[in-house]
Amino acid sequence: MTGIWKINKTLLGMMLAAVAIAFTPSAAWAQGIPPVVWAKTAFQYDSGQTPSVAVSGLVVVEVHEGEGGALWYHTGKMQENGKVVWAKTGFQYDNGYAPSIAISGNTIVEVHQAGTGEGPLWYHSGTITTSGLVTWAASGFQYDSGLAPSVAVAGQTVVEVHQAGAGYSPLWYHTAEIQENGTLLWSASSLQYDDGVAPSIAVAGSTVIEVHQAEMGVGPLYYHAAEIQPNGSVIWSSTSFQYDNGLVPSISASGPTVIEVHQGESGALWYHTAGLQSNGSVQFASSPSKYDSGEAPRVAVVGPTILEVHQASAGSGPLWYHTGAY
C-alpha cells in the first residue's frame, strides 16, 4: 500500500479534470440538486457480496462479505483521472454479515450482523494510519440486536439504524460517541423512528437523512430527516416522505448535496440527487436516472466526488466500483 498515497491536487481539480461538464445554473442547482456525470464504465476491484464504502479525503475504505461469513476490507486511493488505485488485495478484519462502514477523520466505524438473520449487532472500530493502512481494534463489540445495520458519523457522533426483525418491521436508531481511545460509548438503548425495510443513513453537519423501503420487494422508497442535538440526541421529523420506487437504497451527503442510489427492476441501478434545505427539509430532483446495472449498490460522497460499489449479480461474485462527479 505504501507508495500510492502521495498527495495529489485538490479533489475538485481531480474530478473536473476527469469529467468536464458544462451546465447552466438552475433553480435545482440553487437548491443543492446538482447535475451528475458518471464515468462511462465501472471496474471490478474485488469479489464478494454486500459491499459498503466510505471515503476520507482521497482514501477509500471498502468492506464486504467473503466466503463463509468472513468480513474483508479493501483500501484504495482516488486519482486525478477519477479512477481508484486499489491495494492489490483485501484483508480479513472480522466475521459476520451485512457490513456498513463510515469514516470521520482517521476513525473508522463499521457495524455488521453476527449471523445471517436477526440477532446480535456488532461494531468494529479502526484508524487510518499516515501510510494509508488501516489498523483495526483487536476485536468487535456487541452494541444492539436486529438486522441490516447502517452507520454514519459526524465529528465524534455516531448514528446507526437497523431493522428490528426480518421483513417489514420497526426501524430503530442508536447513537454513540467516539472516545479518545477510538472505542464507542453507546447510548443506553435504541429507539424506534419509523417502520420499513433496508434502512440506510447519512449525516451532513447536524442533519440526518435516512432512506428505506416501505415494503418488501420493489416498491415505494421513503426518506426520513432528523437533527442531531448538542447533547448528541436525535430529533426526527414527525413523518417520512416518498421520493422514489425501488429497493435496497443507499444514501450519502456532502454539504447540502445528497446522492442516493438504489436497485430497480431487472438489475438496473438508479441514482437520485437531492439538496438539504436551510429549514432542514430535503428537496429531491423530480426523477432518478439510470447509471449502471447490478445489485446491492452502496454510495459515498466527498466534496464533488461520488464513489459507488455494487455486486455484479445476486450472491457472491465480482464487485464493481463506479465513480462520478457533480
Backbone angles phi, psi at 212, to 5 degrees: -160, 165
User: What confidence score (pLDDT) does residue 223 get?
Assistant: 98
User: What confidence score (pLDDT) does residue 229 get?
Assistant: 92
Residue 296 near residue 311 (C-beta atoms within 8 A): yes
For residue 288, being part of any structural domain is answered with yes
Question: How long, in residues, is the chain?
Answer: 326
Q: Report d(CA 52, CA 64) in Å as an integer.
A: 6
For residue 188, being part of any structural domain is answered with yes
For residue 2, being part of any structural domain is answered with no
User: What confidence score (pLDDT) does residue 3 get?
Assistant: 37
Q: Report d(CA 132, CA 124) in Å as an integer.
A: 18
Instruction: Annotate 44-106 with DSSP letters as a single string.
Output: EEEEEEEEEEEEETTEEEEEEE-GGGEEEEEEEEE-TTS-EEE-SS-EEEEE-EEEEEEEETT
Q: Which of 85, 86, 79 is nearest to 17 (CA)?
A: 79
For residue 244, being part of any structural domain is answered with yes
In order of 31, 55, 79, 94, the CA distances from 17 in angstroms are 25, 19, 10, 38
- The three-state secondary structure class of 314 is coil
Q: Report d(CA 4, CA 229) in Å as an integer.
A: 39
Q: Report d(CA 40, CA 17) in Å as an integer.
A: 15
Per-residue pLDDT tens digits of the chain, which is 326 residues long? 433 333 333 333 433 333 333 333 344 554 657 789 999 999 999 999 999 999 988 899 999 999 999 999 999 999 888 799 999 999 999 999 999 999 998 999 999 999 999 999 999 999 987 667 899 999 999 999 999 999 999 999 999 999 999 999 999 999 999 998 888 999 999 999 999 999 999 999 999 999 999 999 899 999 999 999 998 899 999 999 999 999 999 999 998 999 999 999 889 999 999 999 888 789 999 999 999 999 999 999 988 999 999 999 988 999 999 999 99
Domain that holds residue 135: 11-325
User: What confidence score (pLDDT) does residue 33 get?
Assistant: 73
For residue 279, being part of any structural domain is answered with yes
Q: Report d(CA 236, CA 280) in Å as an integer.
A: 11
Q: Report d(CA 70, CA 91) in Å as an integer.
A: 10
CB-count exposure of residue 22 (10 Å: 0-12, 13-18, 19+): exposed
Looking at beta carbons, which pairs linking 64-73 to residues 24 or more positions away fall under 8 Å? Answer: 64/90, 64/99, 64/319, 65/97, 65/98, 65/99, 65/316, 66/90, 66/92, 66/316, 67/316, 69/95, 69/96, 69/97, 69/116, 70/95, 71/95, 71/96, 71/99, 71/112, 72/46, 72/48, 73/134, 73/136
Residue 50 near residue 97 (C-beta atoms within 8 A): yes
For residue 85, being part of any structural domain is answered with yes
* Overall number of domains in the chain: 1
Q: Report d(CA 167, CA 2) in Å as an integer.
A: 44
For residue 79, being part of any structural domain is answered with yes
User: What confidence score (pLDDT) does residue 279 get?
Assistant: 80
User: What confidence score (pLDDT) does residue 130 get?
Assistant: 62
Beta bridge partners of 63: 52, 73
For residue 116, being part of any structural domain is answered with yes
Residue 201 belongs to domain with CATH number: 2.120.10.80
- The three-state secondary structure class of 14 is helix
CB-count exposure of residue 131 (10 Å: 0-12, 13-18, 19+): exposed
